[in-house]
Amino acid sequence: MKTLTVKVSRFDPERDEKPRFETYTVEVNEGARVLNVLHAIHDEEDPTLAYRYCCASGQCGSCAVRVNGVPVLACMEEARDGMTIEPLNLPVQRDLVVDISPLITSLHPLEPGEECRMPPAETVNALKPLRSCIECLACVSVCPAVEVAKFAGPTAMRQEMRLALDPRDMRDRTTQAVEEGLFTCTSCQACWKACPKEIEIPGKAIEKLRALAHKKGFSLPRHLEVAKMIEKTGRSVSRTEPTFFERIEADVFEPYCEAKATVGFFIGCMYSHRLPQTALDAVEVLRRNGIRVVIPREQVCCGSPLIRTGQLGLLEMLQRRNIEAFATRGIGTVVTMCAGCGATLKKDYPSTPFVVKDINELLDEYGIEAPERLPMVATYHDPCHLLRGQGVSEEPRRLLSKVVRLVEMPAVCCGSGGGVKSGFPDEANALGEKRRKEIEKTGAELVITSCPFCEFHIREHTDLPVKHVVSLLLEGYREKDRKRNETCPSA
């Protein structure tokens, strides 16, 4: 047996104005789950505690709660001392019980036609992951788009794709999904990471539905413009100043000290055409840390804006051009500083003759020269396509903590991804405002991130400086050089 002390959110709508926490200490068996703790509180401490469960074996989804802020199934999650147990982020009926009925009843059932065609094996395989949903609504509870847009939510999109694939179903599910807000999803992937059945809703349902919607002519005008721009220029955005490529005079940059490695640098459209100085900062930081940087000028858009919006026509051409650009130079490692490009190169390219690394991963792996510490407090915004898309979260924090004091805020979407900033600016702004409030709560003096879309969007919602990790590292190096020159003016 072991003794655990836990905090549980309590709320009685007839008595309480808002939820409050109660602390309980209970005895449970070794290996007990969160559900065992709730049973123990209910049986031994307070029989009025309301929570929901049924199968107690991860099959029914009814016991979903948040533990330390993360949605889990109470019956599957190991109980730990000091944990905080709250209801899902959905309308609370009482204590840990949320109102799931409106969302569950709005999920569309299969509507078979008169002629019932059985799905071929290939379709059955595509359907399988979408069918394993246990309707726990953990995905909906973390979806940023649901909170600010007219969006039926991730599990509704999963169900629409499931039905769209099923030849027995007679309804036009693509049109239905568009009406339910298909294009308001920011591609943040929070739903996928929260799902106890690991259903990849953004990639397996939403992007697939968007591709079907594109074929039916539902693409948003702004998204079509982006595709046209890529077709015409190879880039997804127009230039607002001399581009990165116009500002560099060579294609190969030697390191300032003994070479540890040679990498190809994938710049990305935003860092090339809108934020070229940040990309130049990255080259400086790489060279200072012994990395030889090769920058093929033939590289083009990675294709991410097209994949996320369902416009796949140009994708193969972009993939081929990018792979050739680095492969013909014999590059073994391609580094990128854009979260979206990195996730796309790693996951959406069929196979590449090189390894792809985010710049934070690379610098953390090789180790960096210590920069001067700057007397500043910074907060780090996790880009969705770096945190969830590539699993990179500790690396930028380790780098940043060498330069500034870091204060944390919750890792939520800023609203700039998935084509939402161009397609639904009101939604993007509402999410940007939520981000501003979280940033303000930290008391930080600057915001650091590692994605140009986040950098651009957050700048519109805060007066604080917003920078990429590499720009802050470079500031630390410049300060170090300045102090060294002061101490030793002839150096």
Which residues sit at the interface with ligand SF4, rule CB under 6 A?
A: 61, 133-139, 142-145, 154-155, 158, 185-191, 194-197, 199, 201-202
CB of 104 to ligand SF4, least distance (A): 9
CB of 71 to ligand SF4, least distance (A): 7
Cα atoms in the 13 Å half-sphere on the side-chain side of 94: 9
Q: Which two tokens stand for residue 466?
A: 């917003």
CB of 110 to ligand SF4, least distance (A): 16
Phi, psi dihedrals of residue 242, rounded to the nearest 5°: -55, 135
Specify the residue, 145 or 325, whose C-beta has the smaller distance to ligand SF4. 145
Neighbours of 357 (CB within 10 A): 22
CB of 248 to ligand SF4, least distance (A): 35
Specify the residue, 41 or 88, whose C-beta has the smaller distance to ligand SF4. 88
CA distance 451 to 381: 9
Specify the residue, 75 or 133, whose C-beta has the smaller distance to ligand SF4. 133
CB of 328 to ligand SF4, least distance (A): 36
CB of 417 to ligand SF4, least distance (A): 8
Specify the residue, 165 or 188, whose C-beta has the smaller distance to ligand SF4. 188
Specify the residue, 273 or 461, whose C-beta has the smaller distance to ligand SF4. 461
CB of 31 to ligand SF4, least distance (A): 24
CB of 89 to ligand SF4, least distance (A): 12
Phi, psi dihedrals of residue 40, rounded to the nearest 5°: -65, -40
CB of 246 to ligand SF4, least distance (A): 35
Residue 98 and residue 92 in contact, taking contact as beta carbons nearer than 8 Å: yes
154-165 and 207-215 helices, crossing angle to 10°: 60
CA-closest candidate to residue 311, choices 180, 385, 221 = 221
Specify the residue, 136 or 226, whose C-beta has the smaller distance to ligand SF4. 136
Residues contacting residue 485 through CB under 8 Å, at least 6 positions apart? 491
CB of 200 to ligand SF4, least distance (A): 10
Q: Which two tokens stand for residue 132?
A: 């394993």
Specify the residue, 137 or 279, whose C-beta has the smaller distance to ligand SF4. 137
Cα atoms in the 13 Å half-sphere on the side-chain side of 106: 17
Specify the residue, 339 or 400, whose C-beta has the smaller distance to ligand SF4. 339
Cα atoms in the 13 Å half-sphere on the side-chain side of 374: 22
Give per-residue burial for 170-180: e unless 16+ CB within 10 Å, then b.
eeebbebbbeb
Specify the residue, 342 or 389, whose C-beta has the smaller distance to ligand SF4. 389
**Which residue has 């591609």 as its token pair?**
187
Specify the residue, 207 or 281, whose C-beta has the smaller distance to ligand SF4. 207
CB of 163 to ligand SF4, least distance (A): 14
CA distance 482 to 478: 6
Specify the residue, 289 or 416, whose C-beta has the smaller distance to ligand SF4. 416
CB of 76 to ligand SF4, least distance (A): 12
Neighbours of 252 (CB within 10 A): 11
Specify the residue, 192 or 380, whose C-beta has the smaller distance to ligand SF4. 192
